[in-house]
Amino acid sequence: MKLNEMFPSKWLKAADLEGRPKLVTVEGVRMEAMEEGKPLKPVLALRGLTQGLVLNKTNGQALAEFLGDDVDKWVGRKIVIFPAQAAFQGKLVDCIRVREPKPQPTVAAQPAPQQTKATEPVAATVDAEADDVPF
């Protein structure tokens, strides 16, 4: 068992991503108090995750670039969250950043395989660099 599992956080941390980007869907944005007496901060609720992503200005602006300025319209939209590092008080610290998902190729964009006649022999080609012969 890991220490993070013993003391789970209410908010998502870079370590929770285990070094990999994650495609997530926005369920909502709410304002929450991080500390008593401090201003409320926006928190993204993400489908399938119990922890919220506290938005800093950098991530908020990045999301607005591709989702628009109206946070109510972010609901149901997909984003990628990924671990990164940022300078904070003269040190590099782990953080989470956001980006737009890469567009997926459409099925129509892929060329159809060429058809061969049943009577014609099919020549086999071998890629020598991709050949994995165990010996």
Q: 47 with 28: CB under 8 angstroms?
A: no
Q: Which amino acid is at 44?
A: L
Q: What is the pTM of this model?
A: 0.72
Cβ-based neighbours of 22, under 8 Å, separated by 6 or more: 80, 81, 82
**pLDDT value, residue 1:** 75
**pLDDT value, residue 127:** 44
**pLDDT value, residue 40:** 96
**pLDDT value, residue 2:** 73
Q: 80 with 67: CB under 8 angstroms?
A: no
Residue-by-residue pLDDT tens, the chain, 135 positions: 777 677 778 999 999 999 999 999 999 999 999 999 999 999 999 999 999 999 999 999 999 999 999 999 999 999 999 999 999 999 999 999 999 999 877 766 566 666 655 555 544 444 444 444 343
Burial string for 91-115 (b: 16+ CB within 10 Å, else e) reads eeeebbbbbeeeeeeeeeeeeeeee
CA 9 to the chain's CA centroid: 19
